[in-house]
Structure 1
Amino acid sequence: MSKTVIKIENLSKIYRLGEVGTGTLSHDLNRWVRMNILGQDDPYAKVGHVNDRTQKAQKGELVAALRDINLEVKEGEVLGIIGKNGAGKSTLLKLLSRVTSPTTGSIKVKGRMASLLEVGTGFHPEMTGRENIYMNGTIMGMRKWEIERKLDEIVEFAGVAKYLDTPTKRYSSGMTVRLGFAIAAHLEPEILVVDEVLAVGDAEFQKKAIGKMQDVSTNDGRTVLFVSHNMASIETLCNKGIMLRNGIVTNEGEIKKVINTYLETAAELKPSLYYTKEKAPGNDFAKLLSVEVVNSQDIITDRYLIDEPIRIKIKYINNKAQNKNTAIIHVLDAADNTLFASNEFNSPQWDNMSGYGERTAECIIPPNFLAEGKYKVLVAIGHFNPNMVHCIKKDAIGFNITDSFSGNTVRKNVGGNWPGLVRPMLKWNISNQLL
């Protein structure tokens, strides 16, 4: 049975907004005596306040960036930490890495920890890349010969050999992240902590970094804590997850279920969008009036079965007769992956469209095409010759698809839901030779 390497109990972190002091000398003295001599809690800490960043702050208000966190992480687990901006993810990692101290609660860590929380974490800008590698290794408790044994591997992974003896203050943010991650991942920590900082790197490096973290956890049995807004990376790398909301753990468990919960709690999109002519987005060439998603009975709804068509209707104004515009859609999944794009240019009627005034364009997504899930639609009005975009509306509408349990469209199998972003009904030819 795997042993626990991180144990968090009743962890809270309180921050004061605005001025640090209580506002009066007597209150400051009262707080100091209560906390430092009598061993009592801060009498002015309003621990019950939730860290809702959408609310206007009051002068001197105390908020809980984290509140009553209880968590155990086992050896070899890869824990994904997800949540909206301001949910407390980075604060939790800073507490684990001892960058800051908790207000209440305790953190117990068994093993050597390497952290990559921000661009340049642990780097001295006046020191060269080589010197920073030795400094970081020494801080982690490694001997000089241990660091030297890993030096070439770190430099090769980071791809900064040419600049190894250059002060890191002259590095770009991407180079700094590459070297920082290479140090953190290769100096053999028992626990690797990585924040969203990897997003600064290019696509090639991100892929390499994910692969390295998989190797560290799978082959070396080390523990990884990973914060990211990229749900695809989280799902690929992690086997367990927690979701934070306003500093509180609201969901914990198998990573796919946690991701689904997170995506479901995101703002729901409506199946229709309307503008008045006066407030319609666009320019002198074209303006968007409305977007609707309707079923085969022409009813606006955001719920569809997998075996029924989905019709997206777009109404817009052509303001100039000589301007041959086209409606454009991008269909995205809940994780913001673009599945496909289409436009009026694909219609056989498009060549005959001319003049100005209102136009309604309809795109039909065929049945048995998209898999179960939540989808959103980007809508734009543009022109191909020359290439111009007159207006664009991200997350214009949304809809949901569920499986059908009738006829031959049932897609459930013994192992659960079928994988994939699309699930078309493909044609199969079968020949059978009976014995």
Structure 2
Amino acid sequence: MTDIAIKVENISKKYQIGENKTYPTLRDKLMELPNRLFKGPKKTKEFWALKDVSFEVKKGEVVGIIGRNGAGKSTMLKILARITEPTSGKVTMYGRVASMLEVGTGFNPELTGRENIYLNGAIIGMTKREITQKFDEIVAFSGVEKFLDTPVKHYSSGMYVRLAFAVAAHLDADILLVDEVLAVGDAEFQKKCLGKMDDLAKSGRTVILVSHNIGSLKKICTKGIIFDQGVNISDLLEIKQAIQKYIKNGENIDGKLPKNITYNDEIIFDNFQLQGQNLIYRPSFTDLEKFEFSIRCRCLDETQNQDLVLSISIVNNVTGETVIYGHNHLYGVIMQTNKVGKISILFEGFQLQPGEYSVYLESWLDGQYVIQQTLFGIFLIKSSTIGSKSEVFNSFPSQLLMPMKWSYSK
């Protein structure tokens, strides 16, 4: 009996940019005829979302697919879930498959929450008795018991995703596909999701997870694979090794960093600076013991007065470890979207180990996770040529050098 759960062989997926996917009527065809006669057929452009992707996942492995936006991660998951057909190549799945992709996938909006639970179970081959045995557990996890007999088209996005994840995670599937489960929902729900994913990993279930949250991938996954521009640029690696390679080589392949990070064209973060130097140009510093980040925040709709939480993470690009993390609520600072202009974050009282660091931003609005962990800057700390601090870092596995007061007596 094979120990392979998923086998992907030379998968490619092509889209036609500019192609009209609607079904034209006879009238549409007749109206279009003069244009075709005098201007020729409408031009389309090919776009390869995936190109010759191959990998194998063994039973019980928890694999994180890592890559920037547009790398082909979600397209790969849709092909694995049989939502999208590949242009060429072959996928073989061994066992029942459940998926939790973008909000709305897999649910019939006209059916109630209760009916959708049974429908999803039936789709993956479970009997009604098997689903009933899991029903109470699914409802308790989702927290939508009051609305079980309401059509899901009336659910909020948060309710929708809670129920969808609960269904996918609790039904008896051999393989679970999850795409950005933390992209919607409040902090409490995200914590429950991470806990459940951890339980699934320990139970021997095969899981494929797409997320921009490096910390979550490192905690949950055993293996990782890196995608870039539709190609898997690595084989399956140990997750720590995959993250290190992604940070060092993958995420900065084209050498570009975002000039701004936006949410729904409502909030814009830009002008990312460290010590007055723009982080998109990868500034370097020597022996920083006190440094200040500044970020500009613009709210395009000043009538919206929402609670803004902004987190910042600093990751060592050599080790892949998050060495610093914090958000404004942790330090008792309340920010409202209609009052925020320049945000300053001052770090002092310690020194970073010499090396290259990536800086990530996340954001919440009124408790809803709206901006996933996104790279916005890179900087370099150079070691000093004088003193013993560099020697300390070279001799001990220390990420930070903290100020200490030593004394002795006899």
Q: How does 1:199-210 map to 2 (within 5 A)?
A: 199-210=183-194
Structure 1's 128 and 337: CA in aligned 2 closer, same or farther, altered over 3 A?
Answer: farther
2:225: which partner in 1? 242
CA contact (8 A) 1:368 1:423 kept: yes
Q: How does 1:55-70 map to 2 (within 5 A)?
A: 59-70=43-54
SS at match of 2:351: coil
Q: How does 1:384-403 map to 2 (within 5 A)?
A: 398-401=378-381
Return the alpha-carbon distance in structure 1 between the equivalents of residues 289 and 70 of structure 2: 39
Return the alpha-carbon distance in structure 1 between the equivalents of residues 138 and 376 of structure 2: 45
What is the CA-CA distance between 1:234 and the residue it aligns to?
1.4
What is the CA-CA distance between 1:411 and the residue it aligns to?
3.9
Give the one of 123, 134, 137 matched to 2:118: 134
Task: Compare CA radii of gyration and give the structure with the larger one.
Answer: 1
Structure 1's 62 and 397: CA in aligned 2 closer, same or farther, altered over 3 A?
Answer: closer
**TM-align CA RMSD:** 3.9
Return the alpha-carbon distance in structure 1 between the equivalents of residues 112 and 91 of structure 2: 34
Please list every run of 5 or more consecutive structure 1 residues that lacks an aligned counterpart in the other structure.
Answer: 22-57, 271-287, 294-299, 315-329, 343-360, 379-393
Amino acid at match of 1:223: T
Give the percent of matched residue pairs that are identical in Structure 1 and Structure 2: 45
Is residue 132 of structure 2 the alignment partner of residue 148 of structure 1?
yes
Return the alpha-carbon distance in structure 2 between the equivalents of residues 313 and 333 of structure 1: 11
Give the one of 392, 397, 402 matched to 1:410: 392
SS at match of 1:64: strand
- Name the count of aligned residue pairs: 317
Q: How does 1:224-235 map to 2 (within 5 A)?
A: 224-235=207-218
1:6: which partner in 2? 6
Q: Deviations over 1:215-247 (max 9, x none)?
A: 1111x2011111111112112111211111110
SS at match of 2:379: strand
Please list every run of 5 or more consecutive structure 2 residues that lacks an aligned counterpart in the other structure.
Answer: 22-41, 258-272, 295-310, 317-321, 329-343, 362-373
Return the alpha-carbon distance in structure 2 between the equivalents of residues 397 and 213 of structure 1: 30
Q: Normalising to structure 2: TM-score of the pair?
A: 0.66
SS at match of 2:149: coil
What is the CA-CA distance between 1:149 and the residue it aligns to?
0.5
Amino acid at match of 1:234: L
Return the alpha-carbon distance in structure 1 between the equivalents of residues 382 and 240 of structure 2: 18
SS at match of 2:234: strand
Structure 1's 215 and 396: CA in aligned 2 closer, same or farther, altered over 3 A?
Answer: closer
Q: Deviations over 1:315-355 (max 9, x none)?
A: xxxxxxxxxxxxxxx9751599974699xxxxxxxxxxxxx
SS at match of 2:95: coil
Return the alpha-carbon distance in structure 1 between the equivalents of residues 178 and 360 of structure 2: 32
Q: How does 1:13-412 map to 2 (within 5 A)?
A: 13-19=13-19, 59-218=43-202, 220-252=203-235, 253-264=237-248, 265-266=251-252, 291-292=276-277, 302-304=283-285, 309=289, 332-334=313-315, 339=325, 365=348, 368-369=351-352, 373-376=356-359, 398-401=378-381, 407=388, 409-411=391-393
What is the CA-CA distance between 1:59 and the residue it aligns to?
3.1
Return the alpha-carbon distance in structure 2 between the equivalents of residues 236 and 162 of structure 1: 33
What is the CA-CA distance between 1:259 and the residue it aligns to?
2.2
Structure 1's 80 and 398: CA in aligned 2 closer, same or farther, altered over 3 A?
Answer: closer
Q: Deviations over 1:395-415 (max 9, x none)?
A: 99742236789846434678x
SS at match of 1:65: strand
Return the alpha-carbon distance in structure 1 between the equivalents of residues 124 and 158 of structure 2: 23
Return the alpha-carbon distance in structure 2 between the equivalents of residues 15 and 87 of structure 1: 14
Structure 1's 367 and 128: CA in aligned 2 closer, same or farther, altered over 3 A?
Answer: closer
Structure 1's 11 and 131: CA in aligned 2 closer, same or farther, altered over 3 A?
Answer: same
What is the CA-CA distance between 1:269 and the residue it aligns to?
8.6
- The farther-off stretch of 185-194 and 369-378 is 369-378
Structure 1's 163 and 217: CA in aligned 2 closer, same or farther, altered over 3 A?
Answer: same
Return the alpha-carbon distance in structure 2 between the equivalents of residues 66 and 2 of structure 1: 27
SS at match of 1:410: helix
Return the alpha-carbon distance in structure 1 between the equivalents of residues 144 and 181 of structure 2: 18
Structure 1's 403 and 180: CA in aligned 2 closer, same or farther, altered over 3 A?
Answer: farther
Structure 1's 240 and 166: CA in aligned 2 closer, same or farther, altered over 3 A?
Answer: same
Return the alpha-carbon distance in structure 1 between the equivalents of residues 213 and 163 of structure 2: 22
Amino acid at match of 1:90: S
